[in-house]
Every structure is written in C-alpha cells, then in structure tokens.
A = this chain, B = another copy of it.
Amino acid sequence: MPVLVMKFGGTSVASLDKIKSAAERVASEVSAGHSVIVIVSAMAGKTNELVGWVNETSPLYDAREYDAIVSSGENVTAGLMALTLQEMDIPARSWQGWQVPVITTSAHSAARIEEIQTENITSKFKEGMRVAVVAGFQGVSDTDRTTTLGRGGSDTTAVAFAAAFDAIRCDIYTDVDGIYTTDPRITEKAKKLNKISFEEMLELASLGAKVLQTRSVELAMRFNVKLRVLSSFDSPEIGSGTLVCSEEEIMESNVVSGIAYSRDEAKMTLISVADRPGIAAAIFGPLSEAGINVDMIIQNIAEEGRTDMTFSCPTDQVLRAEKALNDAKSEGEINFSQLVADTNVAKISAVGIGMRSQSGVAAKMFRTLSNEGINIKVIATSEIKISVLVDRKYMELAVQSLHDAFELEKVAE
C-alpha cells in the first residue's frame, strides 16, 4: 500500500475535538487505500507551558533535560490520536522517537535526524496496522537520551518520514490554508500561492514565515518530497493548500513571491574589536559552538586597528550569545570594549526566484522603505532574497509598502 505522511500541528490537535477532526481526515486517507504515518505536535500551548517551566527552573538549562521534558507533549498527542483512530476501528498505534527509533545527533534541543529505522513500523503495516502515529519533534541519541529537533521540528520529522518511507506525499496540516505572499494579519492584500518553489519556501521559512520549519523544506528539497501545506479547518474539498515543489514544476516565477518578517531577531554589536586576521573566526567560532544561529553579519571599516562587529541572532539566544562572547573574552580569545544587544528590531525580507534574472529589486526595496522614512540598519542579500533590519515600530509599515511596491496582490493564485 502506498504510504502517505500527514502532519498535524499544535493548533490542529489543540483539543480532543480537534484531534477527532484530524483523525477523520486520516480515516478518509485510509479508506482511499493509503498506509498512513501521522506525525503530531503537542497540543497547542503545551510546549510553551513546558518550556516556561524549564526556563523558570534553570535559565541556562541542561539541554538534555530540556529535551526530556519538552518532548512529553508530543507523546501525549500521539497516544490520544492512536486511541481516537482505534475508536473509529482503524488499527493504529503510537510511536515515540526511541521506539521507532528516530536516531539523531546528540545536539540536544537542535538535534538532526541521522536515520529513521523503518523496520519496526513497516512490519506493523504488514501485520495489518493502517496508521502509525509518531510523536513529532523528537528522536533518540546514541547514548539513549531523548533529543528534540528544535521548535517546529515536527515538520522536519514529517518530511524525514516521507523520505524514509518513500511516501507519495507529505501533507502538513496547520492553521492556515497555505503559503501567502505575506502575513494576512499585516495586510489584507496578502494572497495565497498555489505553488511555491522549494528555494523560495526555504528562504521564507528561515526568514520567519512560521508555516514550515526551514529544515523541513531543506529536507524536502534534497529528497524531492512532495510537500503540501493545507488547513485542518477548511473542508477537504476547498482546502487544496499550497504545493511546495521543485522550480521546474512552476510555469512562471514571480520576481518577488513573498515578503517575510521576523520580530525574533536581535541585533548584537561588539564595540571596538581588535581588527586582526582571524578575528571573525575568533568571534563566530565560540558562537557556533554555543549553538547560536547567527544570520546577518556586518563589519565596519576599521579605524586605528579597531572595528565594530554587528550580527543578528534569534532573540531567545541573546543570553547564550552574551555568555559565549564574554567567556571568549575572559579566555583572551577576543577583545572588545562593549557588547550591545538591541532586541527592538525587526527583519523584513523580499523573496523571489525571479530576482535571479531581474535586476533592480534591491534598489526598488531600498527606495520604497526610504520613501516611507524607514531607516535600514543592516542589509543582507542572497541570490533570491534581500533582507533588512529596521526599527521594530516600522515593521508593519515596511511589509505593507513592499507588498504594494512589488504588486503582490496581483500574484496568480
């Protein structure tokens, strides 16, 4: 029987009623002749509750204990989903990461999947089981400790299972009905896209579009997993969602497909760093070891052998970043006069595959922001995206004006 992977996010399993609705969607895929692997998140709010307890108990927590605690939310949903399916007379059982097993690295709280062993689940499918309900977001290290893949990791779990089981498709059920040109809460002109390329989705995901986790898109791209994002709440007939697929499957690319934003990026500046060869490595080495996801980097022009170094990182990593840099300073590896964290910023990004063949996109973006009187603090570009850091108070205005400037309300649905 062909395997289909279906993933339900936290809002899609937020209550017993919602779990039941989700189970009904699973049931109809079972009736259609699929063996289904269901990946579930924790019930909405549960993970935040657990993370809150961890942070209150131990601000610089042992990530191994964080993982042991936080993974419990998914275990609960997996069991409840299995029971719900059994009540519908569908043979189903739950699987936790260590039971599958989903083998990951030991990088707790940000582990990477190394291998999904398919034998156990496959043999249950052969015995007549129709649905394997798998707790998303978690795995097990080679020392038998529970690991997690980082927030939103259930998407990655879903895609990895789709790849490992050679699934016909990976359907990501969530609280939105697809991928939009930007967040509809910021502008009513936002439009749903029918298709988007892996590359664009990858940029949007990493830029703060919360619909899909970055790594899940990377994985889908690498293994060419057909990924569909759709709503748990629309009736199945309407909600065909957005298909994330390879570039070749999209007839005409947009210059800009979407405007993304993120409040969760902080700007950190090391003031008066000794400017010497290898200084960047000395700064970003310790940050990397501490697991800090550095995004944008700017180095000012040096004066009198000293310079300022600015970078951005997720706001929830600021404490760790400060610790890593101060430790490196006290060990004499780097030298700076001051470390300033500015969490009052937002990152705005324009993304589109068409940028590759069309010039002037950056200029248009800067001009648009300038016309609105918005000062750009940091710029970063890639082949298919341009990102800027601005004062947070201008975030909405920036998104709206860029959405207008690139005429995204006219994008073909």
Contact = CB atoms under 8 A, between A and B. Distances in A.
A366 interface: no
B62 A82 contact: yes
Contacts of A87: 57-58
Given A53-B80, A68-B78, 14 more contacts: A19-B57, A50-B76, A58-B86, A62-B86, A65-B83, A65-B86, A65-B94, A66-B79, A69-B76, A69-B79, A72-B73, A72-B76, A96-B146, A98-B98
Nearest to A52: B16
A54 B83 contact: yes
7 contacts: A16-B53, A16-B57, A54-B83, A57-B83, A64-B93, A65-B79, A68-B79
Interface centre among A76, A83, A84 (most CB of B within 10 A): A83
Chain A interface mostly = helix
A54 B58 CA distance: 32
Copies of this polypeptide in the complex: 2
A82 B144 CA distance: 17
A248 B395 CA distance: 77
A99 B57 contact: no
Contacts of A66: 79, 83
Interface string A290-303: 00000000000000
A96 B80 CA distance: 20
A94 B66 CA distance: 10
B62 A69 contact: no
Contact of A57 (B57, B62, B65, B84): B84
Nearest to A77: B69
Contacts of A62: 82-83, 86, 93
Contacts of A56: 16
A75 interface: yes
B99 A80 contact: no
A145 interface: yes
A280 B407 CA distance: 82
A338 to B, nearest CB: 29
A99 B69 contact: no
Contact of A65 (B64, B65, B82, B144): B82
A61 interface: yes
Contacts of A83: 54, 57-58, 61-62, 65-66, 69
